Structure formats: C-alpha cells, structure tokens
Amino acid sequence: MNAPAEVLLAPELRRALIADLRAALPATAVLAEAEELHPYECDGLSAYRRLPAVAVLPESVEQVQAVLRVCREHGVPVVPRGAGTGLSGGALPLSNGVLLGLARFNRILAIDPDNRIARVQPGVRNLAISEAAAVHGLYYAPDPSSQIACSIGGNVAENSGGVHCLKYGLTVHNVLGIKMLTMDGELLELGGASLDGPGYDLLALMTGSEGLLGIVIEVTVRLLPKPERTQVLLAAYASVEQAGEAVAAIIANGIIPAGLEMMDNPAIRAAEDFVHAGYPVEAEAILLCELDGTNAEVSEAIMGVRELLLQSGATEVRTATDEAQRQKFWAGRKGAFPAVGRISPDYYCMDGTIPRQHLGRVLKRIAQLSGEYGLKVANVFHAGDGNLHPLILFDANREGELERAEAFGTAILDLCVAVGGTVTGEHGIGIEKLAPMCSQFGAAELEQFHALKAAFDPAGLLNPGKAVPTLHRCAEFGRMHVQGGELRFPELPRF
Amino acid sequence: MTDRTRELAEQVRQAGIQRTPLCIRGGGSKAFHGRNSQGEPLEMAGHAGVVSYEPTELVITARAGTPLTEIEALLAEHNQVLPFEPPHFGAGATLGGMLAAGLSGPRRPWSGSVRDAVLGVKILNGRGEPLGFGGQVMKNVAGYDVSRLMAGSLGTLGVILETSIKVLPRPAASLTLVQELDAARAARRVLDLGRQPLPLSGSLYHAGRLWLRLCGGEQGVAAARQSIGGEVVQVPVWQAVRDHALPFFQTESPLWRLSLPAAAPDPALPGDILTEWGGAQRWLVSDAAPEAIRTRVQALGGHATWFRGHPPDGAVFHPLPAPLLALHRAVKQALDPLGLFNPGRLYPEL
Ligand SMILES: Cc1cc2nc3c(=O)[nH]c(=O)nc-3n(C[C@H](O)[C@H](O)[C@H](O)COP(=O)(O)OP(=O)(O)OC[C@H]3O[C@@H](n4cnc5c(N)ncnc54)[C@H](O)[C@@H]3O)c2cc1C
C-alpha cells in the first residue's frame, strides 16, 4: 500500500546509465547484475523489496560527485543508503534509480580528545566510534539498539535516538558538523569543531532529512567522558498505569535518569524466554531505570529513585549488583525486538511519541485495537520521553494480515497524533508513514516541506517519494482529517 | 495573554500585497544584534501568554511575545529552569526574541543550546500562513526540523508565533569555585577537567582568574569540589557574564564573539579576551581590523561575530562561502519568497 509506484528504466536508458557510471568509477564500484543487487533490495522494513536499476559503491567524494553528475545528466533519481537498518523504508531502492551505497566510507578520520570530537566518514558504524574513543575515556552517546550495525550517516539522516537520549539527547544534539554534497555536487560544510556555525542552522535541517536534502559525506560528533559509575534498577508493577506514574514521579523529583525504559507483559515474557534476564514474568509492566555520573552522584540518586519506585506501588525493586547483572537487565530490553521475532512469524514495529501523561489511556486503547484487528501486540518503549514501540505480531503468509497489521499500526499513529504526539519519534517517515503524515500535518505545512526540499534539490532527484507525501498522495490515501470543522485539502478531488 | 495570530497574519499578507518589508520586534532587548534592517514594525509584544506547561513533561509552550522573565519565574515556581540560560540583554526580552537570536548562556556546552531545547514552533511564513512544526514531545522526526531552523535566524525566515521548549529540573546544588592561574594553565586545566565525568556547568576565565561552576546533587557537587579545588565564591558571576554586565563588556571598542573549537590556541589578537564555555566561546574587545580577526579565527576552525560596536550596515556575521550563501538564499526564498522579514538583518543578501 505504501510503496511508491514501480517505474522501470527503458533498457537502453539503463545501459547508457551503467556505461556512464562505469566510465566514472572503478569497476568494482558499479553493480548491475541482479544477484549483485539483491543485498540492496530492502532496508529494515523488509516487507517492501525491489531492485534498483543499478547500485554504486563509491569511496571518495570525487566519485560521489561523479555519480551525482551522471544521475543529473540522465535525470535519474538517487537513493542514499548507509547500513540499511532503517525501519521506515527510507533506503528502499527505486527501480528507475541509482542506489548510492556509502558503506565504503568507513574510516574514522580523527579522534581529538581535547576538543572531545571525532571526525568520521558516514559509513562508520555507530558503535565503532565509541570503541575508537574508549582509549581516551570518551564515548559517543546516542546508542540506537542497532548500534553494532547502523552507520553514522544513517543516524544523521534519521536523527536516531537510543535508550540514553533522555539525558544525552538525539543525534541532532550530538553532531557538531557535517560535510555534505548537494544533488548539484556542491560540497558544503555545516558547523564543524566549534559549538555553532554562522548563518542558518542548516545542520538541524539536514539532521533527520532522510536523504532528501543532501548526501552526508563526513560527520563531526561530540564525545562525552565516560561516566565514572552506571547503575540500573528494575521495578515491577501490577499495572502499566502505575509504571507510567512512577516515571512522572521520578522526573517531578528533579531526577533525569540516563535511561528510563518500560516493557509490558507480552514483551517481558518474550524477552525472558529469549535471553533469560530473570525478569518477573507475572508483572504487567517493568521499568528499567539507569543512573550514571560520578560515584557520589549515583549513590545519591539511586536512593531517591528506589524510594520513588516503591512509593509508586512497585511490587519489587531490584538493583543490579554488578556489571554482569546490569548487562543482563539490559539484554532483555535490547533484545526485545528479536525476542518478539521468535514468537511470531513477523512483527511490525511502530514508533509514535506521546506526552507521557497520556500513557495509560493510549495503552488501553492499543489493547482495544488489538482485539478489533485480531492481532497481538507487545509494547516496549522509551518511557522517559514518551516514545512508544508497539510491536504488532502478524504472519505475512496469511492472506490480508500484512494489510491488517498496517491498518492497526496506522490507527495507533493516529491515536498518538490525537493526544498531541507524533507519528515517528526516531525511525523516520520513509515510505512507511506517508499516510499518517497527512493526518499530522496540514496542506500548508506539507507544501512548505516541499518548498524546502526544492531549495536543496530543485530537480527532485534525491530520494524522491519518501518522507513527505504530496497532497495528491494524501488525497489518494483518503486521509481527509476533519479538524475544527474544516476539511483538510478541500482543493483536492475525493477518491 | 492574547492570541493575535489573525491580526499578525493579516499584517503579513498586507505587507506582501504592498511589498513593504517588515521589522519583527519583540521586546527590543536585542535590537543591537545583527545588521540594520528597515521596514514597517511588526509588534509581537501583544501576542503573549503561556499556552501550556506540564512540569512532569518537561515542556513549556508559550507565545512569542511572552516576557522571558515571566517564563523563568513560572518555571522557578516548579523548581525548573531553561537549561541553556538565555541572555536577556535588557528588561523586555521575549521568548520569540530568545529563539530568533539563538543565543545561549554559560551552561551551554554541558546542557545544550536554545536550538537543542526547541521542540516545536508555530510560525507565519512570508505568505502569512500560520504553520506548525515539531510539537511538544522530546522525540519527533516527522518532517524537516523547521523548529530548530528558526534558532538564530533573526526573524529572517518567518514570524515566530509560539514555541515549545524543553526545560530541566533546577539542580539541587550549585557551587562556584575560583582559582588564580595564568591563561595557558587555565586553558589546559579546563580541557583536562572536560575530559573527566564531572558535574561542570560553567567556566569563565579572565585576567588571571578561572571560575568554574558545579551543578547537580548535593553529594555529587561536594565530591567534585574536593577533586577540583579552589575557593568557593559567594557572589556568582554567571548572570553577569550571561548578560554582559561585567566591567569587561563596558567598553566603547568593538566586541567580538569568537566561536572556536574548545582546544583552539589563544588567537593572539590585540585586545582583551574573556573565555567561556570550556574554551568554545571567547569574547574579544579589540580595535583590530575585522578582516584580521576573521581570518585568524577561521584559521583556528571557528567563526567570528562582530557583536557590538559595528557599523549599522557592516558585516556582523562571519561571511559564508558562495555555495553556502546560495543555499541560504534558496532557503529564505522557500519560507519568505517576497523577502518581507527583517531584510538584511543577518546578511545583506537575505
Ligand atoms: C533491530 C533494530 C533496532 C533499531 N533500534 C533503533 C533505535 O533504538 N533507535 C533508532 O533511532 N533507530 C533504531 N533502528 C533504526 C535504524 O537502525 C536507524 O534509523 C539508523 O540510523 C539507520 O542507519 P543506517 O546506516 O542503517 O541507514 P539506512 O537504513 O541505510 O538509511 C536510512 C535513511 O538514511 C538515508 N541515508 C543513509 N546514509 C546517508 C548519507 N550518508 N547521506 C544521506 N542520507 C543517508 C537513507 O537514504 C535512508 O533514508 C533500529 C533498527 C533495527 C533493525
């Protein structure tokens, strides 16, 4: 339902495109055979697959510029790709386009401990930065669960978060500068090694732009000193609402934990079966609360948090006694997606964010919807910042289940918008959430996004059809939300 | 406490029809900041009021004309603060002006900037259309981040109507230490401390004295005080440096803001220098030629803003390379196609 229409290049156009790319790049950098192209047919949203017309794997800025030039000359679209772990189809190839793989840009260019920055190429894996900085006692804070695989270029393009972003922020808060290429092949530097750059904050605009505004070819990230001590608490609750209230109580008491994660009963059970973390499987919800800082800071905070958890009705509060146990507590949470993957042939991960005060209400409604759609759901979420990841369980081999799962997911996202939240907290729109975008934004905002896109890429060749729906697409989706008595997109025909 | 969106939108549409530029005015506290701009005034002061504030959500939403003092007072009632400590530079400072100026105070390197704290905005674009971007939640990647684009745009991209800002609990304890050190040693000391996990929240060096601020829990601050050493100061300097009330800033000579990599060496420019932000923000009072200052600062990997004492039509902000300036023009065009808002305030071409 969501995938953009498949348009093939005419064979002679494709041949000419490949010939021009081969002329500009080393032989191993141009992939045109079907079997070479298969690894690039999808990203982490694997329900959607297609082969690109051709894939290229350049390894220098000049080579990327050459690719962009050839694409401009042929009027062919370009889809950038990092590690392909994206969950919204942002890196889904276009069958009439070039897939631009950045995996060969995999060098850490500099680690500068005094300035506490690292300069890296976009294909460098997220975790590799922290590994390289560790000798200096430093690390890169944003830690998506996919951090062993995902690339920093992809992180910038998605503005990725992680379990520690409550305290340390998202990618946008931890990137100081980028070098990028516009579709015109112009090399631009935004920000750098200082804390701000002159002019408009185009770095913020680029962060989370899903490959639609430019190609990120170098990233300067901020590094932080590794905390002296890290400690995690696990609290069990007899209801999800109570767990939600505990989160509010911690924050109301002036404590910002490094991480504050919640799982509901189905997620707890799946995770426990998978990693044997010792989770209380009878609990309706568990909270994981991580505190970090100096020894003194952690000692002080941990007492307070323990007290608050008990006051908020926790049936049990455990403190990890050593690093091994801390890792174990986290293993269940970090392995929640694959754990759910074991109990269901397929699952569909949603990513809405809501103001935390509505947590109980939203979860109740999700449970109702689960009954209505006849599909089970397990909930894991970044409770501290209200970012929900309901995992909808389905079987794609059963007629109509994928569609039902998607409809269920869309209903959840509409619910998030209705309570004042958003349809995506960290996974991006891609092709997946184009329809819900039409309920979150009005026609004027969507048009403004398109105008901004055109400022960077007037010909519309960079990752077209992703991230921002056209007004016609919204009309096709039939998503005419009536707000304040006014029909949205009144100027468009109804389908 | 009124919503004046309709009137403001009407004024923008009229300005569009007549092709008359507009000068957006909040409290006027930062009127000195940036280049001179000519146009009909668009007054934001009446468009004021807190729209929503739920302390446990760590978010406040208010209209642009709301006085910053009012916001800070309300947060204080709930033991919360704006973590980026925005400079007021005058009694009338408003929330919209704070965002448009994009300036942050002493805590910035440790707790983020204005731009980092922005979660959402409502704006009027150059067509007078009210638009909403971002929202009130911490994590939101739907659509391009137009909210943060507003930070530091000095009103040249749109009329900021309303904004949602992330707030933080006020630290339970706060303490300022001072030490006598020469410049080179102080710079080294600050870099070394920066590499350790300490609850730092401010650094200031001038004329042989280094001030450091610690913020956090009682015990955490007490322990860090032991390991850092120095004398406890009873009268903190942070608000005075934030609002340029220190004697250093009382000068007829040009004042420059140098944004540099924290470890960049002393730029060795003539004049007096005051260093903040662990080395990343340095204020320079100097009569040196603007060109010389800019060339030197750029060579060190930073950029220089002629903050005060510049000619009205002079180059205030660091010049942009031609391709980047072209992109700035295209972005301006996308939001304000008729060039109505604060023309020339940031760069003559915008
Ligand atoms: C098991 C699992 C767990 C995950 N957990 C998290 C999580 O905790 N938090 C989170 O935020 N995300 C998470 N994700 C999602 C995903 O890992 C992130 O979105 C990640 O940032 C994508 O990086 P990538 O290198 O794989 O990018 P890709 O998937 O290759 O691309 C993502 C998007 O970025 C664009 N892009 C990639 N590189 C560039 C570049 N150099 N220049 C311009 N555009 C580019 C692509 O066109 C595409 O639109 C998870 C995914 C999986 C599979």
**CATH classification of the domain holding B104:** 3.30.465.10
CATH code for A11-101?
A: 3.30.43.10
Q: Measured between alpha carbons, how far is residue B182 from residues B114, B206, B208, B280 in Å?
A: 32, 9, 5, 18
Chain B interface test: which of A194, A247, A253, A362 (most B C-beta within 10 Å): A194
pLDDT given at position A4? 67
Angle at Cα B255 formed by Cα B252 and Cα B261, nearest 5°?
A: 165
Q: Which CATH number fits domain A344-495: 3.40.50.170, 3.30.70.2740, 1.10.275.30, 1.20.1730.10?
A: 3.30.70.2740
Query: Is A120 near ligand 1, meaning CB less than 6 Å away?
Result: no
Q: Does a structural domain hold residue B348?
A: no
Q: Which amino acid is at B99?
A: L
pLDDT at B316: 97
Provide the CA A270 distance to its chain's centre, in angstroms.
23
Question: What does R_g of chain B's alpha carbons equal in angstroms?
Answer: 21
Q: Are residues B55 and B92 in the same domain?
A: yes
Chain B's closest residue to A356, CA to CA, is B57
* Last residue in a domain, options B217, B248, B279: B248
User: If you search the block for the tokens 């850490």, which residue do you land on?
Assistant: A108
pLDDT value, residue A2: 63
Residues of chain A with pLDDT under 70: 1-4, 479-495
| B349 assigned to some structural domain | no
Q: Which range of residues forms the domain containing residue B107?
A: 5-169
Q: Does residue A158 have its Cβ closer than 6 Å to ligand 1?
A: yes
- pLDDT confidence of residue B235: 79
* Residue from B131, B126, B46, B58 nearest B94 by CA: B46
Q: Which residues of A305-328 are buried (b: 16+ CB within 10 A; e: fewer)?
A: bbebbeebebeebbbbeeeebbeb
- CATH no., domain A229-338: 3.30.70.2190
- Residues in chain A, overall count: 495
Among A residues 430-459, those touching chain B with beta carbons less than 8 Å apart: 433, 437, 440-442, 444-445, 448-449, 451-456
> What's the pLDDT at A323?
92
Q: Which of B248, B263, B296 is the last residue of a domain?
A: B248
Q: Residue whose CA is closest, atom 13 of ligand 1? A: A144
* Cross-chain residue pair B144–A213, CB shorter than 8 Å: yes
Q: Evaluate whether A229-338 and A344-495 have a shared fold.
A: yes
A473 alpha carbon to ligand 1 midpoint, in Å? Answer: 24
Ligand 1 mean position, distance from CA A130 (Å): 18
B37 in the same domain as B62:
yes
CA of A81 to the centre of ligand 1 (A): 9
Pair A396, A433: CB distance under 8 Å: no
- Work out whether the CA dihedral B298, B303, B305, B311 comes out positive or negative: positive
Domain match, B151 and B53 both: yes
Right CATH for A108-225 from 3.30.465.10, 2.40.160.10, 3.40.50.1370, 3.30.1330.10: 3.30.465.10
- Asked whether A78 and A463 are in contact (CB, 8 A), the reply is yes
**pLDDT of amino acid A19:** 98
Q: B241 with B112, same domain? A: no
Q: Which two tokens stand for residue B31?
A: 């009127």
| Number of structural domains chain B divides into | 3
Pick among A196, A250, A260 to test the B interface (most B CBs inside 10 A): A196
- The CATH number given to whatever domain includes residue B213 is 3.30.70.260
Give pLDDT, residue A492: 44
- Domain residue ranges in chain A: 11-101, 108-225, 229-338, 344-495
Q: Pull the structure tokens for residue B329.
A: 């023009």
CA distance B51 to B60: 8
CATH number at residue B320: 3.30.70
B156 and B180 inside one domain:
no
CB contact under 8 A, A228 and B197: yes
Minimum Cα–Cα distance from A452: chain B residue: B334
Regarding whether B154 and B23 lie in a shared domain, the answer is yes
Separation in Å, CA of B177 to nearest CA in chain A: 19
Strands B168-169, B200-206: pairing kind: unpaired
In angstroms, what separates the C-alpha of A294 from chain B's closest C-alpha? 7
A 337-366 residues with CB below 8 A of B?
Answer: 353-357
- State the distance from the centre of ligand 1 to the C-alpha of A89, rounded, in angstroms: 9
- B346, part of any domain: no
Say whether both B263 and B313 belong to one domain.
yes
**Do residues B165 and B22 both lie within one domain?**
yes
* Contacts of the segment A476-482: beta carbons below 8 A, 24+ positions apart: A477/A434, A477/A435, A477/A438, A479/A435, A479/A436, A479/A438, A479/A439, A481/A438, A481/A439
Answer yes or no: do B222 and B282 share one domain: no
Q: Does the predicted model carry a pTM greater than 0.90?
A: yes
Sites in chain B below the pLDDT cut of 50: none
> Ligand 1 pocket, A347 CB below 6 A?
no
pLDDT at A479: 58
Q: Does residue B347 lie within any of the structural domains? A: no
The shortest C-alpha distance from A450 to chain B (Å) reads 9
- Residue among B108, B119, B123, B141 with most chain A CBs within 10 A, to mutate: B141
